[in-house]
Copies of this chain bind each other. A is one copy, B any other.
Amino acid sequence: MRDPLGRRRLRLGMVGGGQGALIGAIHRLACRMDGHYELVAGCFASTPERSRSSADAIGVSAERAYGSFAEMAEQERCRHDGIDVVVIVTSNDLHFPVAKAFVEAGIHVLCDKPMTMSVAEARELAAQVERSGVVFVLTHNYTSYPMVRAARALVADGRLGVLRVVQAEYPQDWLSTPLESAGQKQALWRTDPARSGPGGAVADIGTHAMNLATFVTGLRLEAVAADVHTFVDGRRLDDNVHVLLRFGSGVRGMLWASQVAPGTTNGIRLRVFGDAAGLEWAQENADRLYLNPLGQARQILERGRASGPAADRLSRVPPGCPEGFVEGFANLYDDAAELIWAKIEGRAPDSDAALLPTVQDGLEGMKFVEAVIASGRNGSYWTGLDR
């Protein structure tokens, strides 16, 4: 799917991501990379004026800069050149209503995580998506790194043997101080229960780590026992969670997500151990995967070199030329384009593209968030995701 192949570009709309927003800009970089998308419409802010101002800076025409996502869904549905797909990069509280509106309009959806504010919303959205038949992709971008795909393939091929232990972590340090008190925009909404939902670190980054662990292992997370804590005085959501994990097939593990760990930046990292080998991947060293067969020399698999077809498929530049975060996101856009074209063309999509996180993954993520918080409130007792 890397090359446009003579197809027209998919018409993309964006909700959220106006001026000053971090993740919106990254999405714009990523969707441009391979030339499959053209950003043509957006609801970049909650008033028409501010939305148009962002549209102008971004290069979207004023007429398709909306102040209301509902209006955008409606108008774009009616245009002959309406958007094919919308990407939702708002604060968490809007994911659900916005997604619903666009799914209802028959428009494909890329949605940021955590998917909703609750399991109940997630179930409702999942049901709606299934009824509608639109493509729904949750932007768990880390699963689109080439060496994460390689890790998944190694597990699936049995190279680790019978799985036993999973160690996942995602430490950051940017909330080590009460940034929200200083009015920092990202910190403000991410520590506000009304906009972020019931989970702080657990929802914002814990869901990424949990998703990565289940993606690579192919296991389902069944239960958690969690210690949920807020270290920064006055903060209204957790900023550190320690979680014991029980997966299917008797696999055990741990997950640590923190926003108050000085010296860590974006330290999402996964280790998986079976009875035949262990593997390790860390996002800050994204192009390498460590595979350690029991009793043998450790192996460093590099993207593009002994990395296997699942990784090579997502590789743009030669080995030794680092790819990273933007490319990971672009891979997600690339595979999403394949899913959308397959839908448009009435055919089955490429099976690797079909690995993209779905609305069901979003539901599992919300179950994780609620189970962790419930366990934390109840003496860390084991809490099933399907309680």
List residues of A whose CB falls within 8 A of some B CB: 3-6, 22, 25-26, 28-29, 32-35, 56-59, 160, 164-165, 167, 169, 172-173, 176-177, 225, 227, 229, 231, 240, 242, 244, 246, 252-254, 256, 258, 260-267, 271, 273-280, 283-287, 290-302, 304-306, 316-327, 379-382
Is A300 within 8 A of B302, CB to CB? no
A387 to B260 CA separation, bound complex (whole angstroms): 31
A277-B263 contact in complex given A323-B324, A324-B323, C-beta closer than 8 Å: yes
What's the Cα separation between A319 and B292 when bound, in Å?
14
Distance to closest chain B CB from A57 (angstroms): 6
Say yes or no: A262 contacts B284, CB within 8 Å: no
User: Please, which residues of chain B bring their CB within 8 A of the CB of A280?
Assistant: 263
> Contact between A323 and B325 (Cβ–Cβ < 8 Å)?
yes
Q: Does A320 contact B240, Cβ atoms closer than 8 Å?
A: no
B-side contacts of A287, CB under 8 Å: 284, 324
The smallest beta-carbon distance between A139 and chain B, in angstroms, is: 14
**Given pairs A265-B319, A286-B322, 17 additional interface contacts (CB within 8 A):** A6-B57, A26-B316, A32-B34, A225-B244, A229-B252, A244-B380, A258-B273, A260-B275, A261-B273, A262-B274, A265-B302, A265-B304, A297-B301, A297-B302, A317-B324, A317-B325, A379-B381
**24 CB-based A-B contacts, threshold 8 Å:** A6-B56, A6-B57, A32-B35, A35-B59, A164-B231, A165-B231, A165-B258, A225-B225, A225-B227, A242-B252, A260-B273, A263-B278, A263-B279, A263-B292, A264-B320, A265-B302, A265-B305, A284-B287, A287-B324, A298-B302, A299-B299, A316-B326, A317-B324, A381-B381
A240 contacts which chain B residues (CB < 8 A)? 164-165, 252
Interchain CA distance A5-B33 in the complex, whole Å: 19
Q: In the bound complex, do residue B292 and residue A262 qualify as a contact, i.e. CB atoms below 8 Å apart?
A: yes
B59–A6 touching, CB < 8 Å: yes
Q: Known A225-B225, A324-B324, A381-B381; judge A29-B316 contact (CB<8 A).
A: yes
- Residues of the B chain whose Cβ atoms lie less than 8 Å from the Cβ of A316: 25-26, 29, 326
Residues of chain B lying within 8 A (CB to CB) of residue A256: 167, 254
Max chain B Cβ within 10 angstroms of own Cβ: one of A29, A258, A382: A29
Residues in B whose Cβ lies below 8 Å from that of A285: 285, 322
Residues of chain B within 8 A of A29, CB atoms compared? 33-34, 316-317
Q: Is the CB of A276 within 8 A of B297?
A: no
CA distance A285 to B262 in the complex (A): 21
Q: A116 CA to B240 CA in the complex, in Å? A: 35
